[in-house]
Amino acid sequence: MVAQPAYSIVLPAKNEAVSLAVVLPALKSEFPQAEIIVVDDGSTDMTADVCAQNDVVRVAHQVSLGNGAAIKSGARRARGKAIVFMDADSQHNPQDIHKLLSRFEEGSDMVVGARTAAGHANVGRLVANTFYSRFASWVTGRVIPDLTSGFRVVNRRRFMQFLHLLPNGFSYPTTITMAFMRAGYDVEFVAIPVHKRVGRSHIRILRDGLRFLLIIFKVGTLYSPLRIFLPVAATFFVTGLCYYLYTFTTSGRFTNMSALLFINAVLIFMIGLVSEQITALTYSRSSTEQD
């Protein structure tokens, strides 16, 4: 029988043959005992040949399914007790994996490689990620320096609990980070340098702008829906109350607009309350199924 590796290293890749030709030998040299898995997400370049030359596991998608789908395929194939996820575009230095594993072995369930300000591809990415991270910090009450980093090590058993929650697109880091925190697992962040990627990014600002905007709301509803719905309900209620006081003092009547604002406040609050219960049941079910 083949012994179970301590770590599996998963790299989602789409047309990253040039970068993989550099990254894979470095990984094999640095971690000769680790299981290295490249998830080929519908590549049309020489990715398959590079994987064969470096004798690593290749999981192939016949068509591109997305970064999140590649992560899920890699996690299903991984045999290690811990999984290291990293990009295949040479942004991450294989030696930095030791920093993450060191913290992980101290008892953390997930250790995220947090990028510094200089590590983002451009100013737009920096601004967007800073906003997401600060919003997530407000929702969770914890300091989250980098919500969207794809460089992390996770407890495989814990990770598989939430596989059904992960989207097929690029927002998987957001989802899994918030899921681990919501479940009460230990999530740590380690500052790491990030190099300029090899090749062009698959993210497009105009195409993905709305999707990233939706991530903001997903962050809140994934962790604690009432943190989102309650302020909105309170805004409607206060607006309705102020309008009622105005109309009562000026004309001595209660208007339909005030009633509509109060009703909206109650409905939004009740939706938030139901969402909170659904979220709690979702995480409770995940933990029960894994146990």
What is the secondary structure of 59-123 as a DSSP string? EEESS---HHHHHHHHHHH--SSEEEE--SSS-S-GGGHHHHHHHHTTT-SEEEEEE-GGGSSSH
Where is the domain boundary, 223, 243, 260?
223
Supply the pTM of this predicted model.
0.79
- Looking at the chain, the whole-number percentage of residues with pLDDT higher than 90 is 56
Lowest mean pLDDT among 130-139, 146-155, 213-222: 213-222
Q: Do 149 and 263 share a domain, yes or no?
A: no
Mean pLDDT over each residue of the chain, to the nearest integer: 86
Which residues, at least 6 apart from 202, have a Cβ–Cβ distance to it below 8 Å? Answer: 14, 67
What is the domain range of residue 266? 226-290
> Is 96 a member of any domain?
yes
118 and 75 share a domain? yes
Regarding whether 212 and 230 lie in a shared domain, the answer is no
pLDDT band at 117 (very low <50, low <70, confident <90, very high): low
- 138 shares its domain with 36: yes
Mark whether 15 and 39 lie in a shared domain: yes
195 versus 82: the higher-pLDDT residue is 82
Judged against a pLDDT cut of 70, whether residue 174 lies above it is answered with yes
Task: Assess whether 102 and 88 both reside in one domain.
Answer: yes
The band of 210, judged by pLDDT with boundaries at 50, 70 and 90, is: low
Confidence (pLDDT) at 209 = 54
Q: What is the pLDDT of residue 212?
A: 64
Which CATH number belongs to the domain containing residue 166 in this structure? 3.90.550.10
Query: Could you say which of 175, 199, 223 is where a domain stops?
Result: 223
**190 and 260 fall within a common domain:** no
Nearest-angstrom CA–CA distance, 67 and 147: 16
Q: Is the pLDDT of residue 132 over 90?
A: no
Residue 2, domain member (yes or no): no
- Res 125: pLDDT: 64
Q: Are 184 and 167 in contact (CB under 8 A)?
A: no
206 with 265, same domain: the answer is no
Position 147 confidence tier, pLDDT thresholds 50, 70, 90: confident
For 83, list phi and psi in degrees, rounded to 5: -120, 130
Q: Are residues 273 and 284 located together in one domain of the fold?
A: yes
